[in-house]
Amino acid sequence: MGTNKTLNGGSNPSVKPPKKRWSKDDTELFLLSLPTLLWFLIFAYMPMFGVIIAFKVYKLAPGGHGFLYNLFSSEWAGFKNFRYFFTSNAFSMLLRNTILYNIAFIIISASVAVGGALMLSSMRNKRGSKIYQTMMFLPYFMSWVVVSYFVYALLTPERGYVNGIITALGGERIMWYQEKKYWPFILIFLNTWKGMGYGMVLYLASITGIDPSLYEAAVMDGATKKQQARHITLPAIKPVFIMMLILDCGKIFNSDFGLFYQVTGRTPSSLYTTVSTFDTYIYNAIQSSAPIGQTAAASFFQAICSCGTILFANWVVSKLDNENRII
């Protein structure tokens, strides 16, 4: 009976599947991916060796030795550098600013990108849609250094355009770079304005891949534009939305250095408690006389938390919708 089952198409567990040989296509794909592999190896994985500094009291040894000699000859500090960072007065403020800003960025940017993509895809004038899409995508290519000059031209107390309008209407000048209550709204607006074009392009690419016959059938059934977007468009872009959400969760302990440092005028003391994040703190610590081990500990803490949040977000998605998880 077992022989007949095997002859009739049944599977024999003792027979191993044939091994796949290395083909010419595999060689071509490997050569194409080789530059990317080398880039990640040189600039992403090899620098990870420097994580040891976070557990060392790094000091320069006498005699003019190189970095590796100084690193290995330095004393082990254990978790003292991390303890100093966690118990510092700035830690709670940095943690609050970094997380809250990123949560606001994720929610508002995703909503604006999805809403903009839905509006552009519903436009009948496709040429006008391309023009609007290009105009919204251009700010993404601008450097934060350039944006900071535009912001300074608008908000400078003496000759800023915004203060000029306020005084023309009978109001008083606002010292924008000394009033910290305005900057959460300014930073959220600038982040949304600069990144909404990139997000819309991603969602528009998903929308253009939807089968047009679905919309034709919905129109024949009397569905409105709102109903089409709810029952056809949004479910189609759901995988891309979840993927972007997971990736954004991996950045929740990081911040855009150019936005928080350049635009604010190098985090002046008047705005320090409002616009400071982990990235600006690490940069200022490097510029100061703070021990490099403590600075490395702060950066290592960021990396661990970012890895943990993206894995946690992926785990939550796997429990709610296993098909759309990344890992």
Higher pLDDT, 304 or 125: 304
Q: What is the DSSP letter of 205?
A: H
pLDDT tens digits for range 108-118: 999 999 999 99
pLDDT tens digits for range 12-70: 555 566 667 888 889 999 999 999 999 999 998 998 888 999 999 998 888 888 888 99
Q: Are 166 and 172 in contact (CB under 8 A)?
A: yes
Closest CA to 108 of 194, 183, 182, 235: 194
pLDDT value of residue 5: 47
pLDDT value of residue 279: 96
CA dist., res. 202 & res. 128, Å (int): 19
Residues in the chain: 327
First-to-last C-alpha distance (Å) of the chain: 42
Q: Are 255 and 277 in contact (CB under 8 A)?
A: yes
CA dist., res. 246 & res. 229, Å (int): 23
Average pLDDT of the residues of the chain: 90
**How does 215-224 read in b/e, with b if 16+ C-beta sit within 10 Å?**
eeebeeeebe
pLDDT value of residue 21: 80
| pTM summary value | 0.87
CA dist., res. 9 & res. 265, Å (int): 73
pLDDT tens digits for range 136-182: 999 999 999 999 999 999 999 888 999 999 999 999 999 999 999 99
